[in-house]
Structure 1
């Protein structure tokens, strides 16, 4: 347990990781501020010191993981001309799939306060699915310039189809089913890019 009044390095990440462990182990219904702080080995009130309540905390957890996925998608720019286009897209899609437990996504959608907070942040420019889609589009356009994607390929539509499918799978998959979703993603990228050769 951290001593009272002592700053905790990377507190947000510590609390977020603790919440993910609580949900993975005990289910979404077990996610309370007390459960999170106990798992993080912090003082009971520390979550409420940094967040207005559990709704804001859940929304910020989701936004943090979306931002991480958007940063990962930005890395596509460094992969232009390397490996395979399908493999590069599948890697980003799978990272997004693995970024959040479906139960946490469900909490963020079903708790009105969390949903509103997340929606306002995304509307205000917080990185989310739109940022990932933009990175995928830019990557595909760069690959098109290098001849690895067909000249007439609709890069916007391919990016939308890929990110939209990941969004659907993220919201509907069962916990622990990333492997099955991965096969779907690999098949999808092959189909999407098959007509873009």
Structure 2
């Protein structure tokens, strides 16, 4: 454990990762400030030293994970013409559904203040599902210009379907439920693969 007064490197990420482990393992109801700091093996008061309480911590955790996935989606433009369109899109869609995704969604939905903070941040421009949708739309349009996505595909509609399906699976799934990834993969393939 980090001694009192000693700097803990990457403390935010360390606590975020610890929270994800707690929620995945024990469910949203098990997440407390003490559970996070114990799992992160750091001083008990560290969470409150960096965040304005547990609700703010949960909101920041969810927003951080949204931002990471949005960045990954924006990186799709560097993959235009490489691998397959389905493989490239799968990586982003599945990032939304990684092991902690459903658990974090359940956690955020169970905490009204966290949900409000997340909504306010997204309304103020924090990257979320809209940024991911826009990045996928841009990517699909570029692939369409190369002939790798059928002309019959509307990039914006396909992006909305992918992000909307991931959002639906996050909101209706949970730890211990069926793996949502195969369904997302089938959806992506159905939307963008060329039919011969």
Offset from partner CA, 1:24-83 (integer Å, 9 cap, x none): 222211110011111111111111111111111111111111111111111211111111
Report if the CA contact (8 A) 2:34-2:44 is conserved.
Answer: yes
TM-score by length of 1: 0.92
Offset from partner CA, 1:176-195 (integer Å, 9 cap, x none): 557x3222112111221257
SS of alignment partner, residue 180 of structure 2: helix
Could you tell me which residue of structure 2 aligns to residue 154 of structure 1? 154
1:26 aligns with 2:26: yes
Q: CA deviation at 1:150?
A: 2.7
Report if the CA contact (8 A) 1:59-1:117 is conserved.
Answer: yes
Unaligned 5+ runs, structure 2: none
SS of alignment partner, residue 120 of structure 1: helix
Residue 111 to residue 174, structure 1, CA distance change in 2 (3 Å): closer
Offset from partner CA, 1:99-137 (integer Å, 9 cap, x none): 634232112122111011101111111111111111100
Could you tell me which residue of structure 1 aligns to residue 164 of structure 2? 164
Unaligned 5+ runs, structure 1: none
Where do residues 51-66 of structure 1 align in structure 2 (5 Å cutoff)? 51-66=51-66
Could you tell me which residue of structure 2 aligns to residue 102 of structure 1? 102
Where do residues 132-147 of structure 1 align in structure 2 (5 Å cutoff)? 132-147=132-147
CA root-mean-square deviation:
1.8
Could you tell me which residue of structure 2 aligns to residue 181 of structure 1? 180
Residue 176 to residue 135, structure 1, CA distance change in 2 (3 Å): farther
SS of alignment partner, residue 8 of structure 1: coil
Question: Size of the alignment, in residue pairs?
Answer: 196
Could you tell me which residue of structure 1 aligns to residue 192 of structure 2? 193
SS of alignment partner, residue 151 of structure 2: coil
**TM superposition outliers: structure 1 runs of 4+ over 6 Å:** none
Report if the CA contact (8 A) 1:65-1:99 is conserved.
Answer: no
Q: 1:55, 1:196 → 2: CA distance? A: 47
Q: CA deviation at 1:168?
A: 0.7
Could you tell me which residue of structure 2 aligns to residue 81 of structure 1? 81
Residue 152 to residue 191, structure 1, CA distance change in 2 (3 Å): closer
Q: CA deviation at 1:143?
A: 0.5
1:38 aligns with 2:72: no
